[in-house]
């Protein structure tokens, strides 16, 4: 469970799922659950274990919010949707990836090749190999999607604000729960880049970023929101505020 300051009866409880490299989150709003991102196919048993510990059936998951279309964020989306009837939401720019996750390179092209990073830091290859072992290359297509085109408040439990933060992918989105002061930033802002070997707020390296200029501009955008807790797609929670995390990431630049 993610620790949060000054909880109240209206504050959702957030459970961190995944593994040492991949984060996704189960948000307990009370009557319903919301999944933010959907990990890898190998994370199914972990999700079921958390639900079992909470005494909640999978059918209590009412919505799945996808920050972007990469396989380590989509792996369980279709399985959860089929099992629970949950509505899966994603920005329209990344919807084609969810429709054909095994054809990612049709619509997503990083700025640089992974090869250069592997030559300089061979241990960085452990991260993509870990994703492959977790089933990233077997991610099933999501058969039914709800898409949005602009920043908007979603009509799902917790009333999150979807804020477009492109750069990592064209449709990268951060989901903010202002009343709880929580930001789920996906890979628009992370605290661990395993390929480049960076710890702390940063933008993922160019081997996994589509448009670094847009990625840095997106950080300036989300820094305008007064949010205390940042929960990224990779790395540890950041508790010193979204604005500070975004400023540090911009200052650190992108490799």
**Residue 79 belongs to a domain with what CATH number?**
3.60.15.10
For residue 10, the model assigns a pLDDT of 59
Candidates 76, 199, 96; CA nearest to 145 is 96
For residue 234, the model assigns a pLDDT of 98
For residue 143, the model assigns a pLDDT of 97
127 CB neighbour count, 10 Å cutoff: 21
Query: Is 2 among the domain residues?
Result: no
Query: Is 25 among the domain residues?
Result: yes
Candidates 184, 209, 181; CA nearest to 195 is 209
Nearby residues of 160 by Cβ (< 8 Å), 6 or more positions away:
34, 65, 153, 154, 175, 176, 177
Quote the number of domains for the chain. Answer: 1
β-strand 33-36 against 87-91: which pairing, if any?
A: unpaired
For residue 3, the model assigns a pLDDT of 47
Alpha-carbon distance of 24 to 158, in angstroms, equals 17
Query: Is 70 among the domain residues?
Result: yes
Residues of the chain with confidence (pLDDT) below 50: 3-9
């Amino acid at each position: 469970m993610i620790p949060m300051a000054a909880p109240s009866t209206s504050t959702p409880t957030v459970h961190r799922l995944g593994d040492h490299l991949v984060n996704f989150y189960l948000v307990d709003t009370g009557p319903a659950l919301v999944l933010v991102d959907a990990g890898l196919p190998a994370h199914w048993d972990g999700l079921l274990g958390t639900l079992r510990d909470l005494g909640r059936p999978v059918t209590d998951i009412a919505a799945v919010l996808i920050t972007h279309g990469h396989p380590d964020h989509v792996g369980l989306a279709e399985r959860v949707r089929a099992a629970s009837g949950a509505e899966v939401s994603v920005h329209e720019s990344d919807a084609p990836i969810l429709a054909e996750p095994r054809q990612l390179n049709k619509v997503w092209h990083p700025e640089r090749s992974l090869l250069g990073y592997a030559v300089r830091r061979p241990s960085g290859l452990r991260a993509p190999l870990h994703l492959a072992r977790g089933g990233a290359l077997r991610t099933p297509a999501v058969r039914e999607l709800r898409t949005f085109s602009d920043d908007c408040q979603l009509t799902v439990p917790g009333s999150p604000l979807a804020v477009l933060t492109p750069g990592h992918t064209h449709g990268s989105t951060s989901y903010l729960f202002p009343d709880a002061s929580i930001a789920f930033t996906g890979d628009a802002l992370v605290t661990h880049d395993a390929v480049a070997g960076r710890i702390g707020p940063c933008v993922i390296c160019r081997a996994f970023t589509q448009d670094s200029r847009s990625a840095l501009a997106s950080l300036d955008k989300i820094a305008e929101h007064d949010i205390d807790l940042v929960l990224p797609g990779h790395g540890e929670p950041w508790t010193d505020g979204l604005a500070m995390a975004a400023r540090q990431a911009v200052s650190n630049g992108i490799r």
